Structure 1
Amino acid sequence: MICTLCPRECRAERTDTKPGGVCGQPSAPVVAKAMLHQWEEPCLVGVHGAGCVFFSGCNLRCCFCQNGVLSREGFGKPITVERLRQIFHELIDQGAACLDLVTPTHFTPAILEALGDEKWPVPVVWNCGGYEKAETIRALDGKVQVYLPDFKYALPDVARRYSGAADYFERSTEAILEMYRQTGPYVLEDGLLKRGVLIRHLLLPGQLENTRRCIDWVAEHFAPGQVLFSLMSQYTPQPGATGNLARHVTAAEYRAAAQYMENCGITDGYTQERTSAREEYTPDFDLSGV
């Protein structure tokens, strides 16, 4: 295919075996790990964990990504659509509370084929970086029950510096509104998210104003009871990081962000303990489950 799945619209030729584009991946799935993951938000984990499938490649390639071995280096194993569907069933058989598809956008056609017309017994979660085309999200209508987008940036200069995506805010907000159009207000049953949008925002060191502007947009567009919001403190400096990115978020920064979130009336969601900023919370991508 000539790929226009994401806002990059790089029009790279990607076939089942030929990688290309910003994501650097073929059109057939490449997966680094499939597992029951305990470190997602509680409403996705349940008793046994979220059934995570970690796809390789990314259209953002953020310089601070803690999964850089996947997003920038493209580590993973090529598999067929049929095998991907088997993995979904295996995770469900292990007790997964959901099918958590991590960084899936560049494999959208293959994932849709793997999901097929089956009525899955757990929610399908689209766990993405937020830099999405609303058109691509519309193609998922009826196949995805829970959207889990990052909402990284409201300030174009920060988005350009860290992810080379100055238009991130415009594209992510268009996509989030389409996600909400599909799901409507979130639905929790016995503490588990069955339907809805859970917006994640990672506070970056030295970027409190960017966080405030992201919170402003969410508060202006959604009333209480409509979406969930997760304010994350787990930023972990990566090798070679410089400037503010070479340090963790301070306790004062995170307290200020959480207070601003509360002051804006966002009470449906999650905050994190600063102990979340640990390298051990990043899975060991060893091809297990693939």
Structure 2
Amino acid sequence: METGCSLCPVSCGADRKTEDGACGGGNQMKIAKYGLHFYEEPCISYRNGSGAIFFCGCSLRCAFCQNFELSRNLRGKEIGAKDLAAIFQELEERGAENINLVTAGHYIPQILKAFALYRPKIPVVYNTHSYEKIEALRAIDPFIDVYLPDLKYFSPKISLRYTGKANYFEYASRAVEFMMEKPLDMRAGKMFSGCIVRHLILPLCSNDSLEIVRWFFAHTGDAYFSLMGQYTPYGDIAAFPELNRRITRREYDKVANLVCAQNSDRIFLQQLSSADEKYIPDWDF
């Protein structure tokens, strides 16, 4: 890693050989868990589960993060490129439908070293918050089959409030447009190549969600849209009283109705029953 990290839009300038970046990532990769994961979209989890690898640290750091302990780097284990390559192989042997790199953008240089040691024989999924630089995505794109990006905020005021970054949509929209260019290959209900853009509805933010929906369906191409209703109060939200509740049926229906009005067959709708802490993994490695 070169001195002065500028891998993500934060461009914190950290020397990650000697210190952690603003994302919490250092020179060594750090993961909290890996294994077969069954809570992705049906075409990703499919029959045997997605081979998810949960990386620690995050450049976006949403206050309400459902994976708060990971994004704040509070737990996990350091691994090298050889270790990650071995995890790829182990997940394949366990029957994983794909290799799912969860919040991995701040470790792209290290992950590329793992791919140089072992190229998975099953699809590779890049699961991201989308606060990414196009240059970083281009570097890892030759190894990625499926993109699974979140498109979290449209309003700079809302992204500033919950992440401290007013420029989220500026970067994320360009990143998502890049990811939506991945050719679609869906066979027998399993995605081998393509893109699913996710959006999580937040309390009091349904109008912002409507803007996300409108933006997506003006740019969609072959991509799928996944609307999530799973928001559960979690993380560091004491200063945000509006986040101390789940979304209402009215908030959910307001956004879901606009999604359904697009008459698209490339839609996933997550039900409100998914808003439960039982779906947050146990992070004991």
Structure 2: which amino acid aligns with 1:284?
A: D
Alignment match, 2:229: 233
* Equivalent residue, structure 1, for 2:146: 146
In the alignment, which residue of structure 2 is the partner of 1:55? 55
Indicate the larger mover: 35-44 or 171-180: 171-180
Which residue of structure 2 aligns with residue 193 of structure 1? Answer: 191
State how far apart, in whole Å, the 2-side matches of 1:105 and 1:222 are: 23
Once residues 230 and 215 of structure 1 are traced to their aligned partners in structure 2, the CA distance between those partners, rounded to angstroms, is 10
Residue in 2 that maps onto 1:166: 166
Instruction: Provide TM-score, normalisation by structure 1.
Output: 0.93
- 2-structure distance, mates of 1:272, 1:282: 15
After TM superposition, give the deviation of residue 28 of structure 1 in Å.
Answer: 1.7
Distance 1:19 1:48 in 2: 39
- What whole-Å deviation, never above 9, does each CA across 1:215-271 have from its counterpart, x for those lacking one? 111111124xx1011100111102644322000011111111100112244441211
Q: Work out the CA distance in 2 between the residues paired with 1:266 and 1:277.
A: 25
Q: Which runs of 5+ in 2 are unaligned?
A: none
Write out aligned runs for 1:248-263 (5 A): 248-263=246-261
Q: 2:180 aligns to what SS in structure 1?
A: helix
Q: CA deviation at 1:119?
A: 4.5
Q: Per the alignment, do residues 22 and 265 of structure 1 end up closer, same or farther by CA in structure 2, a change over 3 Å counting?
A: farther
How far 1:91 sits from its partner (Å)? 0.7
Q: How does 1:52-91 map to 2 (within 5 A)?
A: 52-91=52-91
Matched ranges for 1:210-225 at <5 A: 210-223=208-221
Q: Retained in 1: the 8 A contact 2:82–2:117?
A: no
Q: CA deviation at 1:202?
A: 0.4
Alignment size in residue pairs: 281
Report which stretch shifted further, 66-75 or 247-256: 66-75
Q: CA RMSD in A?
A: 1.4
What is the 5 A alignment of 1:96-111?
96-111=96-111
Where do residues 5-24 of structure 1 align in structure 2 (5 Å cutoff)? 5-15=7-17, 18-24=18-24
Q: Which residue of 1 aligns with 2:201?
A: 203
1:259/1:271 CA distance change after superposition, 3 Å: same
Cα deviation, residue 3, structure 1: 1.0
Unmatched segments (≥5 aa) in structure 1: none
| AA aligned opposite 1:12 | A
Residue 269 of structure 1 corresponds to which residue in structure 2? Answer: 267
Q: Aligned partners of 2:66 and 2:80: how far apart in 1?
A: 27
Deviations 1:56-80 (A, max 9, x none): 0000110000111010144210011
- Whether the 8 Å CA contact 2:32–2:54 is kept in 1: the answer is yes
> Is the 1:216–1:264 contact (alpha carbons within 8 Å) kept by the matching residues of 2?
no
